[in-house]
Amino acid sequence: MNDTTASWLLLILSLPATATSARMRIWRSLKASGCAALRDGAYLLPDRGDHKYVLQQLLTDAEREGGTGWLLPVAPKSAREILRLQALFDRSDDYQAFVAGLESSRPALTAMAAPELQRQLRKLRKEFDALRSLDFFPTDASRRADAAWLDFVHLAETLLSPGEPQIAGGEIPRRDLADYQGRTWATRRGLWVDRVASAWLIRRFIDQDAHFLWLATPADCPPHALGFDFDHASFTHVGECVTFEVLAASFGLDTDAGLRRLGAMVHALDVGGAFVAEAAGFEAMLSGARRRAKNDDQLLAEISTVLDALYSHFASDAGAATGDDN
């Protein structure tokens, strides 16, 4: 028995019959927080994260509207009781519906223009992230949904960016920065998440004098150039790592907490993965910048400012979490 399942919170609310709008507002908030309804007016959540704060705010809201309520700790007496409570939060039906929606969407993807496809991908990613954020006790259904989502994202990215690299096996060798200065780096044009973030990483942390070539096809990569993010490139997907993560590991940058968190965001957007709150915002900014930019050089310049800011945000958050004020 551990803290995430042995400790629960029970919110009991009673609102005046006349408080119709408050009742609807609070009900929506309870639903958004993932509460399980034991009966009318009684709601349960595992005691983790900010759940206690959320329920306390709802209790305060109800009392402000003339209602009454209690926020009580609940401690199951046995493993069997814990399993019964966890079952109240089973999201299997929700995952099944989401996967069915993905399957019904697939045939139409090939006919979509790139902006429409990007909007569809953002919409579905938002739905999936919202579902996973309320999945407090993942099951096989969540793992099947993860696999279906990864497959769907791969299909969409293939349509958006022909030549998207396949996963390669093997180790990531450590490289010497001194051998990679003032080099020519090449990737597929029409930059998207992994490629634009990798180009930023190269110029910001690896080769400040880097010169970039944007290729019509990977076959156009000249012999002297260092290719990245396409099959058989010098730097591309390895195992579960996307190109950004491979570059960071290759040059010993994966110990940087800010870059690790930035890499997690790129990973989530490129191939799926753990929820990263900032991912949707970055994808929206990249999509807008891509429509405005006249070419990939201009796009990289504009998005580099965004990535600089995100890196600073992630690094400062990591420092605060460890108590490091430097």
Residues 283 and 183 in one domain: yes
Which of 26, 101, 32 minimizes the C-alpha distance to 63? 26
Residue 262: inside a domain: yes
Query: CB burial class (10 A; 0-12, 13-18, 19+) of residue 50?
Result: exposed
As given in the structure block, the two tokens for residue 242 are: 């996307």
- Structural domains counted in the chain: 3
Residues 199 and 268 in one domain: yes
Residues 19 and 103 in one domain: no
Residues 226 and 312 in one domain: yes
Residue 249: inside a domain: yes
Q: Which residue, 52, 68, 87, sits at the end of a domain? A: 87
pTM flag (> 0.85): no
Q: Kindly report, residue by residue over 92-138, the tens digit of the pLDDT.
A: 999 999 999 999 998 888 888 878 888 888 899 889 988 998 999 99
What pLDDT, on the 0 to 100 scale, is given for residue 167? Answer: 61
pLDDT level of residue 146 (50, 70, 90 thresholds)? confident
Residues 111 and 24 in one domain: no
Q: Which residue, 87, 122, 142, sits at the end of a domain? A: 87
Which of 158, 239, 227, 238 minimizes the C-alpha distance to 188? 227
Mean pLDDT across the stretch 261-274? Answer: 87
pLDDT at 326 over 60: no
Residue 81 burial (CB count, 10 A): 15
Residue 209: inside a domain: yes
Residue 133: inside a domain: yes
pLDDT at 169 over 70: no
The contacts of residue 297 (CB under 8 Å, 6+ apart) are 212, 214
Residue type for position 98: F
As given in the structure block, the two tokens for residue 139 are: 């099951």
Determine the Cα angle at 311 with ends 306 and 317, to 5°: 125
Residues 96 and 81 in one domain: no
pLDDT level of residue 299 (50, 70, 90 thresholds)? very high
pLDDT at 175 over 50: yes
Query: CB burial class (10 A; 0-12, 13-18, 19+) of residue 26?
Result: buried
> Within the chain, how many helices (H) and strands (E) appear?
12, 7
CA distance 32 to 28: 6
Long-range CB pairs of 276-284 (<8 Å, 24+ gap) are 278/310, 278/313, 279/125, 279/129, 280/122, 280/125, 280/126, 280/129, 282/193, 282/306, 282/310, 283/122, 283/125, 283/193, 284/122
Residues 196 and 287 in one domain: yes
As given in the structure block, the two tokens for residue 75 are: 């401690």
Residues 192 and 283 in one domain: yes
Q: Which residue has the tokens 């759940």?
A: 51
- Interstrand relation of 211-215 and 184-188 (parallel, antiparallel or unpaired): parallel
Q: Are 240 and 272 in contact, with CB atoms under 8 Å apart?
A: no
Which of 190, 272, 273, 175 minimizes the C-alpha distance to 230? 190
Residues 72 and 16 in one domain: yes
**Which CATH number is 7's domain given?**
3.30.70.930
Q: Which residue, 125, 160, 195, sits at the end of a domain? A: 160
Mean pLDDT across the stretch 140-169? Answer: 77
CB burial readout 227-252, b (16+ within 10 A) else e: bbbbeebbbbbbeebbbbbbbbbbbe
What pLDDT, on the 0 to 100 scale, is given for residue 275? Answer: 74
Residues 68 and 107 in one domain: no
- Interstrand relation of 42-46 and 36-39 (parallel, antiparallel or unpaired): antiparallel
Residue 73: inside a domain: yes
Mean pLDDT across the stretch 65-77? Answer: 93
What pLDDT, on the 0 to 100 scale, is given for residue 318? Answer: 61
Residue 170: inside a domain: no
Residues 197 and 268 in one domain: yes
Max distance between CA atoms of the chain, in angstroms, equals 76
Domain hosting residue 30, numbered range? 3-87
Residue 9: inside a domain: yes
CA distance 86 to 105: 32
Residues 120 and 141 in one domain: yes
Residue 171: inside a domain: no
